[in-house]
Structure 1
Amino acid sequence: MNPLKCAFGVTSGKFLGFVVRHRGIEIDQTKIKAINEMPEPKTLKELRGLQGRLAYIRSIKKYLASAPVLGAPIPGRPLVLYIAAQERSLGAMCAQEIEDRKERALYYLSRTLVGAELNYAPIEKICLALVFAIQKLRHYMQAHTIHVVSKADPIKYILSRPVLSGRLAKWAMLLKQYDLVFVPQKAVKGQAIADFFIDHPSARMYFDGAARQDGAGAGVVFVTPQNHLMPYAFTLTQLCTNNMAEYQALILGLQMAIEIGVRDMDIYGDSELVVNQVLGEYEVKKEDLIPYHQRALQSLNQLDDIHVGHVPRSANKLADALANLAATLALGAEESMNVPVCNRWVVSSLEGEENVDTTNMIYVYTVDEDDPASTYH
C-alpha cells in the first residue's frame, strides 16, 4: 500500500469522486460547485447556450444508459481498431463484433499532438495514431487479430518501405509483433462531416429545397472561409410544397451539424418566407408549415451562436442545383447514390478553316440596300 494514500481513524474521506461518511456515500460538493454557482442566463444567446448544453447532456445520458457502455473482449474473435488523426489530435476506438454484425466498444483513446508531431505529414499522423493505440492496448492486441480501420493504410506505409530509419524503423519493429489487417474505411456521412467541422469550426451552411409533381429534394452545402465545400443532396420521400422542402433542407442541415457537436454557424437560404419566419419577422399563417417551423426553431435553439440570413438565388446556386438533382432522381427511402462531378472538355476547338466541311452550309451576310455591291448567299 502507498502510505500517502492511506487514512486510518477518520470519520469521512473522498473516494472515487464521492465523500464517504459514517452515514453513507454523499456527493462531493466541489464536483458540483460550477453547477450550483452557475449564473442565470440574461441574454437570448446565453439562454440558447444553456438549452444547447442541456440537450447535449440529455443525449449523453441516453447513450450512457444503454448498458453496457464498454464490454470485455470475447476470446477467439478479432478486434476492430478505428483510428483517426486530425491536425492537432489523435483518436482511436477498439471494438468487437458480437452478434448480428453489431459492434461493442471496448476502449476509447485520444490525445493531442505535441512538439514535432504537429509537423508530421497526414499519413504519418495516422501511423502515429496506430502506434499510440497499440502501445496503450498492448494486452488486447497480443491475444487477438486486429482489423485496423482508417482512411489510409498505415501498415502498408510503414512495412512496405525498402529503407527505414528513425521513428519509422521503431514503428515497424512494433507493428511486426502483432497480427494486423487493414480494412479501408467506408464513406460514412457522419464521420465525413465530423472531420470537416473539426478542421473548419467556422463553416457556413447554405440550404435550398425543390418540389415537383413527381418528387421533392433538399440541398445542403457547408462552406469554410477558405471555400472548402461539403455538399449533400437528399431526396424527400414524400410529396410536399416548395416551402415544406425549404424547411426540410434547413432542418436536415441543422441535424447534421448538431449530431457532431457544432455550436456556432452562419446559415443562409434563398427562401425569403422561410428565413423571415425563422427570424420571427413573418407570421406562420399556413397550418401545414407550423410543425416544420417549430422543428426548425428547436434545432436552432441547440446552437450557441447563430446567424440566419437571406441570400439571392444567384448566391445559392450549388444548394439549388443539389435540391433539383435530388428531386429529379426521386430515390427510394433506403437508397443512396454517389454522383461524381468532374471538369472535362471532350472535343477540342477546330484548327483552321481548311478542316471544316462546307457541304450543306449556309452563309448569311447583312444586305445594305443602298450598297449595290453587297451580296448574300
Structure 2
Amino acid sequence: MRHDLKETLQLYLAVSDRTLGAVLVKNHEGNQHPNFYISRVLKDAERRYPNAEKFAYGLVMASQKLRYYFQSRTVQVVTDQPLKKILTRPEASGRVVAWSIELGEFDLEYVPRTSIKAQALADFMVECTFSGTQDLTPEEQLIQTPGKWKLFVDGSVSWKKCGVGLIFSSPEGFEICQAIRFNFPLTSNETEYEALLLGMELARSLEAKHLRAFSDSMLVVKHFSRDYEQRDLRTKEYNTKVKNASLSFETLELSQIGRENNSRVDALSKIASDEIHGLTGSIYLTDAKTHSIEKKECLEIYQGTDWMTPIRNFLEKGILPLDRREALKIKYRASSYTIVNGRMYRRSVSHPLLRCLNTKSNIKP
C-alpha cells in the first residue's frame, strides 16, 4: 500500500496498571489499516503515574519509536482522555512539561474517540503484553513463585509507638495478616529484626518447613547473607537469634524487595505503631511486652556434693558410708533434719508440714 506524505494518520492509545500500548493506523477507502503497533511494560515509578499521565507517556513513547511518521505527517490522537489539556496546563509537573516540549515539534491533532475500531487492537496489545511471568520484573517473579510458604515483614517507628506487620501466605494462597505493637522503644533496624523473628515464630507454629521470607530492609538481608559486616553488638544478637531460628526450617530463603511490593505489610506496621482502635476484618492486632532477644535470668542449679549429700542419701535412700564410725556420725546428724517435697529442712525450722512431725533438740552438724 502506497503511503501519501499528505495523508493523516490516526494513533490509538491504551494503558493498564502495568503496560502501555499504541496502534498507528491509516484510513483507506473508509477502512482502517494498522501500520505499526508498539507496547511497553511500565517499570517502578512509571506504574504510579496518574492514569491520564500514562496516556500522555504513551503518546511520547509512540512519537519516539515512530518518529519518521510523526515528522512527515499530521497525526490524529484518537482518545477519550483530555491529553491536550494535560500537556498544556500551567501547573503541570516537571515530567509533563518535558513531554509537552518534546511533542511540540510534531503536528498533532486531538480528536475524541467516537467508535471502537482500531481501539480494540490497542486494548488487545495491552492485554497480551502482560501475560505470564516473562514480562514481570525479577523481583515480581521471585514473589509470585508458587509452591512455598511466603512471609512478608516490615517494621515501623513513630513518635508514639513501634510496630511491625506480618503477612504469612500458604502455598494454597491462604493469608494471615498480623499487626504487632511494642510497649517499649526500638530503633528502626531493631523493628525490622523483630518483624522477621516474630514472622518466623508464626511460621514455625504453623509447621511450615520451606519458607521464603521477604523484607525491605537491606541491612537485615545483608546481615543474614553475611554480605555486610556486623559491628553493632545489638544487631549481632538479633542476627544470631535469626540464624538459630532458621534451623527450625528445612529451607529458608530471605530476600529483599522494594517498598512498592511490600506496601500491604508496610500499612500493617503503621497500623500497629499508631493508636488505632476498633479494627475490623481479618487483621490481628496484638501487643509485645519484651524483646525477642531478651535474656531470661535463671538460678544455676548446683549438682555437686557437699556436707548435706551423705545426710540426704541416708534420709532418702538409707545409704550409709562403709566406715562404721562415719555411719554413726551421719545417723546422729540426720536426726536433726527431714525431707519435705524434695527439700531438706532442719526440724527446728517453722514449716507447715513440719508441725506434724516430732521435733528433737537442735544439734548442729
TM-score by length of 2: 0.35
TM-score by length of 1: 0.34
Which has the larger Rg? 2
